[in-house]
Structure 1
Amino acid sequence: METLGGLDKIVKHSVKTSRRKAERDQLFQKIVTATVTKKPDISKIQTQIGIAIERALLLCAKIKELQTVLVVLCDLHGRLDLGEIGIPFGEDHNGCKILLTSTSSEALSKHMKVDKVIQLSET
């Protein structure tokens, strides 16, 4: 799981650029994006991702059918249970890569317990 932290507009620009490059280079069979808010709405996140792949109940199975998939969750503000949403991660599916973005490094490091936070700043 990779993460980006920093000012909102810089993170959004970086995600757009990275997504375009990943699509251009065909690094993943599917790239899906959902926005996470301060009070995550699991159903809304499932719907946002599910529309791109399929609905929530089939989401995990469908993701596992793909050899590689990038799931981008934007604007994270606190803990989010990926299993509850239906996103396989870690040993459950090594081809599923997850990119979390947040303006809060605490949300990424403490709440999501990610190992690596890439801090973006204006230059």
Structure 2
Amino acid sequence: MNESLAVYFEALERLRRRKGSKINNDAVAVEAGRKKGSIKKSRPQHATLIAAIDAANEETRRPQNEVSNRLQQAKDDKEELRRLLDAAYTRELSLAREVMELRRELKKLRGGNVIPIREPRPDSGF
């Protein structure tokens, strides 16, 4: 490996150690003290360097992808729970309405000319 490639690889290692730094061809070139664009795919001697840069870039992306995947999963779970809660509220409201209608009907039946055979029990709520 020639000296210029060694400078690039040292720059790549420095960038790997830094948290949150982007790792791409231009960032490695600038870190090595060279101009942007000095690392080119058309140069065969840069093939191993570019492969190492791509691998380092994937390593730094992986945790971000995991975090974004977990965040998306949490949002999906929240939306599903919201949908289930809305369905439960709808059922609750429907059952409450039905109970009210049945109580009105029972009151109407008891309040007319019909005399109950038995007295209602005190614990029945009617």
TM-score, reference length from structure 1: 0.26
Structure of larger gyration radius: 2
Q: Select the structure with the greater relative contact order (CA < 8 A; seq sep ≥ 6).
A: 1
Q: TM-score normalised to the size of structure 2?
A: 0.26
